[in-house]
Each structure stands twice: as C-alpha cells, then as structure tokens.
C-alpha cells in the first residue's frame, strides 16, 4: 500500500512512519506547513519542520512539505478568533484534524495516488462486524486521542492508518530509541501551535479583534475584580482572575459579552443536569440511548442519555441528560459520544459521534 505519513516533528509520528515501513508499505513522509506567523511550540514552529525532515532522513523516507497556510487560516485560525469575539471557547486542535489532516491532506493524497494517510495519533481504527470502521481508544489511556478524532466518519476511516494506537507512550519511545531517532526523548507539545508561550492568547487575539476590559461580580452583583479582556474568559475558569485570597474557590459561572461582565461563584453553581449539542458529526448512523460522553481531551467519559431533537428545516441537535449532575461546559467545546460495539477483535468502546456545546 502507498501511504502518505504525516510527520509533525514529534516522536509519535516518527515511530508511526517507521512501523509502516516495517510492515512493508511504500511510505512517503509529508509535513504540513500551516502557520506562517510567529510560533515557538507545536507542529507549526520552524524547529518542528526541521525535526520532521531529519526523522524522515533517518528512516530513509522521501520528505515533502505541503503549504496549507490558506486553508489553516480559513478553517482554524479565523474561526478561532471569531469564536472568542463571540464569547465562545473553541477547540482548534479538533478543527485542524477535521479540516486539515483528514480533509485537505486526505484529498491531496488521493490526487497524488496514495492509498491512505497515516498519523501518529494515540487511537485505533477498528472494524465492526459489518466491515465498516470506527475510531476506538488507544492502548495508552493517559495519551488517548480518540476525542480529537471524532469528526472522522466511516468514509474517511477507509483511508486512514493509526500505526501507534496499539502502543503505550513508553513503548513508542522505546521503539524510537531502538531506531536511534532524534525525537525519542522529545517532550510532547501541549499548547495551541499558533500562539506563542511568551505572548499568549490575549496578545494573539488583540492583533486581530478589539478586546474589551470587563468587571468581575459575585452572585450578589458586587464587583470583586476586573479582567483586561472579557473575550478570553471562559466558563469554569479559576486561574488568572486575580481575586482576593482567603475566600472559598470561585469559578467563572457566566460571561456576558454585551455588558462585559464576568460572574463568579462556587463550584456547585457550575453543575447542570443536561446540555444541548449542535454541529453534529456521526461516525455512520445517528444514535440515541445511553452512552459514555467525554467533554475534554483527557477527561473521563461519563454516562448520559442522548436523544435527538429536530427543529426548523429538520436541523438536528442532541439533548444530553447526565445521569449525575455534571460540570457545565463552555459553548463551542466538543462533546464526544462513545458506545459499545461488536468488532472483529471483540467488544469495543468506539466513537459514534460528537458535537459542539450549544
């Protein structure tokens, strides 16, 4: 099989490419150049591209760089800025996977005659008894990335390989060390790649939109502090509010953009019994019933009852009813639905769909 292996410059993608070669595939490495601005972290930095090139050279792979800067701006950076301007809390990594890695790159690979695209995500592709494919959790529960891959449908999964999904992170590093890859001990990237550590999110946003200072009030309406930019405050936030010490922990329980008001309260005020999801993506068919739902990249999946709702023009949303009170989730964050399915290797918890908090 001819495989285009996406090399980000990290250890996971390097080992993924190596494993493909060991399995006898014809592998060519590609690095996506996504961000042309300043970057000091993640797959968008100049050093990451260089690390990818060197890893490809060590593995004797041809290496290409595809410039998808316009697409990245259109589908990831622009919407990220617009969401913050509207008081939403976006997840750019989900959108990068949705639009870049598993759309633009997949289509480019097909045009170039490749059979599949491979990445270094810690997740597995499993096959149901009817022959269709689904995303399942990776072997390393602490590193599992199935959450950020929920937008992959059965159609895309016919052309996607995730070679390291059956390995733990320690095993990946052991394989990299055995291959003497420069990336073997490289730390994981944790940050949004187009925002520098030095400047931060607020400095990035203020170059693109007008930010507004706001006041912080308690549940009684008493002013207890201020924020320099209400657009960067998110539901559930505790750090960075600079509230007076000595009191019980206080969290953001509401952000009102029109009045530039942030309301804080105790953790009990963040609890809810239900939520609604929109912009739904289903792995195949729409589903209802009891499922396990995950609300952050590395959070626990908790049981809830999912029901479909249809509004005007049959626009579908999902109503989630938690089995126990759950912490509220910021608008535009992803919630991913998992359910048990019979696969060719046994019963698995697989991704059946996901959506954005309304």
Pairing of strands 302-310, 289-294: antiparallel
Reply yes or no on whether 287 is catalytic.
Answer: no
Spot the catalytic one: 43, 44, 93, 193. Answer: 193
The CA distances from residue 354 to 96, 176, 265, 337, in Å, are: 16, 33, 29, 6
Interatomic CA distance for residues 261 and 219, integer angstroms: 12
Query: 10 has which bridge partners?
Result: none
Reply yes or no on whether 44 is catalytic.
Answer: no
Backbone angles phi, psi at 59, to 5 degrees: -90, 5
Which residues 6+ apart lie within 8 Å of 172 measured at CB? 11, 12, 15, 164
Dihedral (CA of 184, 104, 317, 288) sign: negative
Question: Is there a contact between 163 and 20 (Cβ–Cβ < 8 Å)?
Answer: yes
Spot the catalytic one: 44, 96, 272, 295. Answer: 96
Name the DSSP class of 223.
E
Active-site residues, by number, are 96, 193
């Amino acid at each position: 099989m001819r495989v285009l292996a996406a090399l980000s410059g990290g250890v996971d993608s390097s080992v993924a490419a190596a494993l493909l070669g060991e399995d006898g595939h014809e592998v060519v490495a590609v690095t996506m150049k996504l961000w042309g601005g300043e970057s000091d972290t993640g797959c968008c930095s100049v050093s990451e591209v260089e690390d990818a090139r060197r890893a490809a050279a060590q593995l004797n792979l041809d290496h290409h760089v595809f410039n998808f800067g316009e697409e990245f701006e259109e589908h990831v950076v622009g919407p990220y800025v617009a969401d913050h301007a509207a008081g939403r809390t976006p997840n750019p990594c989900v959108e990068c996977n949705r639009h870049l890695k598993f759309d633009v790159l997949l289509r480019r690979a097909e045009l170039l005659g490749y059979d599949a695209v491979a990445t270094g995500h810690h997740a597995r592709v499993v096959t149901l008894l009817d022959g269709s494919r689904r995303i399942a959790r990776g072997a390393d529960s602490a590193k599992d990335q199935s959450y950020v891959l929920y937008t992959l449908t059965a159609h895309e999964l016919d052309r996607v390989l995730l070679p390291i999904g059956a390995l733990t992170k320690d095993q990946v590093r052991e394989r990299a060390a055995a291959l003497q890859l420069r990336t073997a001990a490289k730390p994981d990237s944790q940050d949004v790649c187009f925002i520098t550590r030095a400047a931060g999110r607020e400095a990035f946003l203020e170059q693109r939109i007008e930010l507004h200072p706001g006041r912080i009030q308690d549940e009684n309406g008493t002013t207890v502090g201020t924020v320099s930019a209400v657009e960067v405050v998110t539901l559930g936030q505790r750090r960075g509010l600079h509230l007076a010490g000595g009191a019980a922990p206080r969290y953001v329980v509401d952000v009102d953009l029109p009045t530039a008001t942030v309301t804080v309260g105790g953790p009990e005020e963040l609890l809810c019994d239900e939520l609604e999801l929109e912009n739904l993506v289903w792995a195949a068919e729409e589903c209802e019933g009891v499922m396990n739902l995950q609300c952050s990249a590395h959070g626990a999946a908790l049981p809830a009852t999912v029901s479909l709702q249809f509004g005007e023009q049959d626009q579908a949303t999902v109503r989630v009813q938690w089995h126990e009170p759950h912490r509220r989730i910021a608008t535009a964050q992803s919630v991913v639905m998992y359910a048990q399915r019979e696969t060719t290797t046994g019963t698995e918890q697989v991704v059946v769909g996901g959506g954005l908090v309304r």
